[in-house]
Amino acid sequence: MSEVQDTTNNTATDTETVMPGRSKRPDPASTPSTPLRGVRLNTPKDIESHHLFQPLLYWVATAGLSPADICSPIRGILRNQKNAEVFMEEVTGVDVQEQRVLMGDCSVPYDYLVLATGAHDNYFGHPEWEHYAPGLKSIVDATSLRRKILLAFEAAEIETDPEKVKELLTFVLVGAGPTGVEMAGAISELAHKALASDFRHIDTRMTRIILIEAAPRILAAFPESLARKTQKRLVTMGVEVRTGTPVTDLDEHGVVVDGERIKAATIIWGAGVSASPAGKWLGAEVDRAGRVIVSSDLSVPGHPNVFVIGDTAVAMQNGKALPGVAQVAIQGGRYVAAVITDRIEGKELNKPFHYRDKGNLATVGRSYAIVDIGKIRLTGFFAWLLWLAVHIYFLVGFRNRLVAIFQWAWEYWTYSRGARLITFERCKDFFAD
């Protein structure tokens, strides 16, 4: 405890403690040039040393990219930013009275605190479902799902019971937002193309992929016309799409939907999220999803030096809650950086945060995507090229961008998946001897 306190107190400059989530691209423009001291901390279940580009996690889970292709070490990213420190430690709370971030027996002081601790999967009152239907929020999630998906095909190859083979080759995706849609398309291409010639006793083209959505249609954040075209595309790829049918039960053998039991060895959850416990740490008002209800400047009411952004916060604009998408978090981060910088320089930024909607993109397998940017609505190959360009741009590091371009080009022409590795990890406390 004393080491952390000594390290953080030996400075005459202001201290900004930042606890970020994942999936947001660091923006140099959002980093103040004033003598601001920053500390990056980890959150519960997020003790990691890397920045993660979350939109491409599904590509790792389906063996299209390796984990290192969408990650960059935090210390490497901040190498040249000498006023930033990184502590690989788990945050357990915040003392807003003493202005300290708590890490077990240690703590870090702050003058300004920015919480961007992200969200986790929401199982709507059924936490036991998580064991059978994992989500996709981290690299560990992605590699675990990759192992589960590939092992299903391996188990089917040596299974002699036809009914068991059908169960092993059935994949259920719960939730038809961008994650569910993109995963469904990727699994379809993996089974119907990439693995089609690799097995001798099963026909992977017989794989059954079921996408389940409780709402009346898929992709609720997109215009209905684009959602209809996407659903049509999924059907042509062999994906069964079921809307207006919530999952009422699930276990290791499958799901129950609309009274029907569907046997499936692999279930993937993408039906909703809940915020991190940041609201409890602060004792702040939260909504039903646990998100902190913030003021117009993204600060916590009653604590003007504490800011909450991203999936951890809910901000209002024109009487409506802003969506939990990356652009809200990115723009919020830039805004908060400007607010803190102005305050340090003795100025006040009275302009409230205003989100500018830059549109949505989603891809459905090889060479097909949908784009909704203002009045521009595109589908098909050119939309896919735009999706590629945007995602390559937001990847951190030249190496990752180059690898992603090469991998996508190679897989476009060959349908192969170069990261088809089945690995098993031994769990160990990373601080243990």
Residues forming beta bridges with residue 112, ordered by sequence position: 16
Q: Which of 157-171, 323-337, 380-394, 406-420 has the lowest mean pLDDT?
A: 406-420
Selected from 3.20.20.30, 3.40.50.620, 3.50.50.60, 2.160.10.10, the CATH number assigned to the domain covering 2-119+273-344 reads 3.50.50.60
Structure tokens at 60: 């790792």
Which residues have C-beta within 8 Å of that of residue 183, sequence separation ≥ 6? 58, 61, 62, 136, 173, 268, 270
Position with higher pLDDT, 421 vs 356? 356
CATH 3.50.50.60 location in the chain: 2-119+273-344
What's the pLDDT score for residue 290?
93
Task: Compute the distance between CA of residue 112 and CA of residue 307 in angstroms, rounded to an integer.
Answer: 8
What's the pLDDT score for residue 409?
84
Q: For residue 181, give the amino acid letter.
A: V
Task: Compute the distance between CA of residue 349 and CA of residue 342 in angstroms, rounded to an integer.
Answer: 7
What's the pLDDT score for residue 424?
81
Q: Which of 38-42, 75-79, 233-237, 410-414 has the lowest mean pLDDT?
A: 38-42
| Average pLDDT value over all residues in the chain | 87
Task: Compute the distance between CA of residue 223 and CA of residue 204 in angstroms, rounded to an integer.
Answer: 34
What's the pLDDT score for residue 40?
57
pLDDT above 80: residue 11: no
In 182-300, where do the E strands start and end? 208-213, 239-243, 247-251, 254-257, 260-263, 266-269, 273-275, 292-293, 299-300
pLDDT band per the 50, 70, 90 thresholds, residue 16: low
Q: Which of 210-214, 264-268, 317-321 has the lowest mean pLDDT?
A: 317-321
What's the pLDDT score for residue 43?
55
pLDDT above 50: residue 4: no
Mean pLDDT of 328-333: 95
What's the pLDDT score for residue 19?
59
pLDDT for 373-405, tens place per residue? 999 999 999 999 999 999 999 888 888 888 888
Task: Compute the distance between CA of residue 274 and CA of residue 383 in angstroms, rounded to an integer.
Answer: 31
Task: Compute the distance between CA of residue 322 and CA of residue 319 in angstroms, rounded to an integer.
Answer: 9
pLDDT for 238-274, tens place per residue? 999 999 999 999 999 999 999 999 999 999 999 988 9
CATH 3.50.50.100 location in the chain: 127-271
Q: Which of 62-71, 135-144, 398-407 has the lowest mean pLDDT?
A: 398-407
Q: For residue 217, give the amino acid letter.
A: R
What's the pLDDT score for residue 25?
36
pLDDT band per the 50, 70, 90 thresholds, residue 46: low
pLDDT above 50: residue 3: no
Mean pLDDT of 85-111: 91
Provide, rounded to the nearest whole percent, the portion of the chain with pLDDT above 70: 87
Contact in structure between 18 and 114 (CB atoms under 8 Å): yes
What's the pLDDT score for residue 168?
98
pLDDT above 70: residue 348: yes
pLDDT for 146-183, tens place per residue? 999 999 999 999 999 999 999 999 999 999 999 999 99
pLDDT for 270-305, tens place per residue? 998 899 999 999 999 999 999 999 999 999 999 999
In terms of DSSP bridges, do strands 299-300 and 303-308 run parallel, antiparallel, or are they unpaired?
antiparallel
Residues forming beta bridges with residue 363, ordered by sequence position: 369
Tell me the catalytic residues. Answer: 182
Which residues have C-beta within 8 Å of that of residue 97, sequence separation ≥ 6? none
Q: Which of 73-87, 133-147, 154-168 has the lowest mean pLDDT?
A: 73-87
pLDDT above 60: residue 13: no
Mean pLDDT of 26-45: 47
Fold of 127-271: FAD/NAD(P)-binding domain (3.50.50)
